[in-house]
Chains A and B, each alone.
Chain A
Amino acid sequence: MKGHLRSVTRLWGLALLLVGAGLVIGGPGATAEAATLHVRNNGQDSGTCGAAASPCRSISQAIANAVAGDTLMVGPGRYGDLDGSGTFTPATGEEAAEVNTGCDCMFRVNKTLTILSSAGAGATVLDAGGAPINVVRTQISGVVFGKARRGFTLTNGGAEGVLVHGSTSAVTVAGNLARGVQNGFIVLGSGHRFIGNVASGNGGTGFAMGGSGHLASGNLATSNSVDGFVVNDGVHVITGNMTSANGRNGFFLSGENQLTGNIASANGSFGLEVLWGQHVLSGNAIHGNQSVGILLGDGTSRISAISQNNIFGNDPVSNCGLWNLSWPSTISATKNFWGAASGPGAAPADDVCNTGAGSSTTTAPPATKEFKGKAKPLF
């Protein structure tokens, strides 16, 4: 922990000087130089581990040894239940999990840290050993957990891959893969950023967010058993994500949100279901979903605009690209491309279906050609 020790030494040297000078020492931790603590599969946990030459074995221990502002750099390998016993024994380098108590998580991030892997998500596995817990729970603002090509695989937990607690703000979660947990990522609180993560093959939902003001960009939710994205409350910005081949909906919305430049394809039910609320739906591509492309529920009368989307190839039975159940109201869905230059209609175009007294949808003028998609594939 060269950097860490150096900074701590420097700090206490300064503190001693100040004490010697008769000055009051207010909060030494607040001015410490940020350190990098290392965690590796050949590390050994102790109250002083973390230097490059003496890495910690567990992320939990490194968090305990770190101070706010530090960076944890985690090497490739496995972290968690190392011997597959289904229990966690910190004395052997396993994470200090709290099962059926405390945070119900494999480790909690309770300091404002940056936690990165050195070899990326595929090579760096946080394994909760099948315990009914969240793999990672962040419960303080400003945490950075992963970045592009520097994230983690989160797996084998009975709850969430990452849970961002509702009391926090400005947490960044990026470059991670959640697979084989219940829900991939659950985000509460305000102003968090989720970028370039993958949720695949989870038992519930890929990404779920409540609270306010989150950004979700460039994520992929695929082959999850229920929904790709569940977006509640608002105002969240959901842009450039892909959600495909999930068991139910690509997106499931309520509240007040902006969805731009996303792709919802080949989901088992709706591409995008709006339960209620006021949303902007623009520049998205909704294709090949087994049920209706976009379902507007009966509480969506205040929806702002549905424009410049590509909506076709959905529901081979009803052929509804958009199903308007809102009432009594008129929904504006002009300037969308429905799969044919002539606008909504019979296949190969998608049609617009209105149900319920007073439901109507304005589609003219339609776009006569496909909009260019803006979602950038992860790989």
Chain B
Amino acid sequence: MSTLLPGRSVLLLLAVAGLGLGALAGAAEAATLNVANNGVDSGTCGAAASPCRSISQAIANASAGDRIVVGPGRYGDLDGDGAFTSAGEEAPSVACSCMIKVDKAVTIESRAGAGATVLDAGGLPGTVVGILASGVVFGRAKKGFTLTGGISGLVVFSGTSGVSVAGNLATANPNYGFYFDGSGHVGSGNAAHASNNGFYLRDSGHTLTGNLASGNVVGFAFEGSGHHLTGNVASANSAYGFSFVGSGHLLSSNVASANDQVGVFAQAGSGHVFSGNAVHGNGVGTAWGGTGTLSKNNLYGNVNCGMNNQSGSAIDARNNFWGAATGPGADPADNVCNFGAGSSTTTAPFSTKESPVKSRPLF
């Protein structure tokens, strides 16, 4: 672990010189540990010339602030015996019910991207990756991982903050693709397929940008408060594209298309801001059990109502484009439907032309 040695050598020298280590530990040079399919696990593995075989071992050998770089290939239950006991296999943790426990503020990224770097829980009744420390960075654009074979793909646990998750693909995990508890996490450029919930947010203040949820039951689901979702795409999910409760969420520049039941479902709560989004080709475009404001959205091509207000309240939905210059109405425009006593929706003035939506496709 040559890159690790300089920092530790300095510490040793300082210790010999009688200096207090406690005050200086935070200044240790960050190291890079390597993990590869030709690695061998040990308590000292991680140097470029002696990579670890498992990510779990590299995490055990790392210190907070270190970077772990993972080569292409497969990580998990390598021999498929369901036991995780053979050499080089990951070390599942009961504490997080996960295959790889990230309990230090480390950066973990792949060398060859998500398509080439597969974390396979092999049917483990838990999560592929569990993050229990604040400040973890897991993947980045073109440097992420495929997460598969778990109950969930990646879970960030409560009590954490400031975790970044980027460039990953979660596929075929029945419960959640990505699950964020805690506060202030950022998820960007990830994709989730074939889960009940592609992305699920709890607690407060998370940011999701440029993610794709396709082919799940629900694309993006969230509760808590103050989450910001910008430039995400939810498509071809069998129930909802976006579904949320709680308060004060901001959704801008997202696309909800071809979701079977509802494109965007504000199930409950208040103070939501929905602006600059595109909602097309869903069963219902947007449904509102909670309250908020809608503006500068494009809402058309949905089978039933472009907006279904069932909140029992007045909702401000001015300055949206409903598919025709004449505002909401019959096809080819979408209409506005109010259900229940007290439900009313203000749509005038409406936009007479489509608003630009700034969502950037993932590929």
Contact = CB atoms under 8 A, between A and B. Distances in A.
Given A179-B193, A290-B80, A313-B36, A76 B73 contact: no
A288 B119 CA distance: 11
B361 A120 contact: yes
Contact of A313 (B74, B114, B144, B214): B74
A84 B304 CA distance: 13
Contacts of B255: 76, 119, 122-123
Contacts of B333: 42
A33 to B, nearest CB: 26
Given A122-B233, A290-B80, A317-B79, A41 B74 contact: no
A79 B118 CA distance: 33
A27 B194 CA distance: 51
Nearest to A124: B257
Interface stretch (B24-32, B165-173, B309-317, B336-344): B165-173
11 contacts: A77-B280, A119-B278, A201-B215, A245-B148, A265-B72, A265-B116, A266-B73, A290-B74, A375-B116, A377-B114, A379-B189
A242 B118 CA distance: 12
Nearest to A264: B116
Interface stretch (B37-45, B92-100, B128-136): B37-45
A78 B142 contact: no
A40 B278 CA distance: 12
Contacts of B146: 222-223, 244-245, 266
Given A78-B281, A119-B359, A285-B112, A44 B257 contact: no
A196 B332 CA distance: 34
A201 B193 CA distance: 8
Given A57-B332, A313-B38, A78 B301 contact: yes
Given A375-B112, A377-B115, A223 B258 contact: no
Interface residues of B, number: 69
Contacts of B114: 377, 379
Contacts of B260: 84
Interface in A88-142: 119-125, 127
A242 B332 CA distance: 42
A348 B40 contact: yes
Given A77-B301, A263-B72, A265-B73, A122 B38 contact: no
Nearest to B211: A122
A263 B332 contact: no
Nearest to A263: B116
Nearest to B190: A379
Interface string B129-163: 00000000000011110101000000000000000
B236 interface: yes
Q: Give the bracket for the number of chain A residues in contact with chain B.
A: 35 or more
A195 B311 CA distance: 47
B53 interface: yes
A349 B36 CA distance: 11
A376 B359 CA distance: 23
B112 A263 contact: yes
A82 interface: yes
Given A84-B260, A123-B233, A288-B37, 11 more contacts: A42-B334, A77-B257, A77-B258, A122-B233, A122-B235, A150-B361, A156-B236, A265-B118, A288-B75, A350-B38, A379-B141
Nearest to A290: B80
A198 B303 CA distance: 28
Contacts of B323: 41-42
A287 interface: yes
Interface in B4-61: 36-40, 53
A312 B115 contact: no
A241 to B, nearest CB: 9
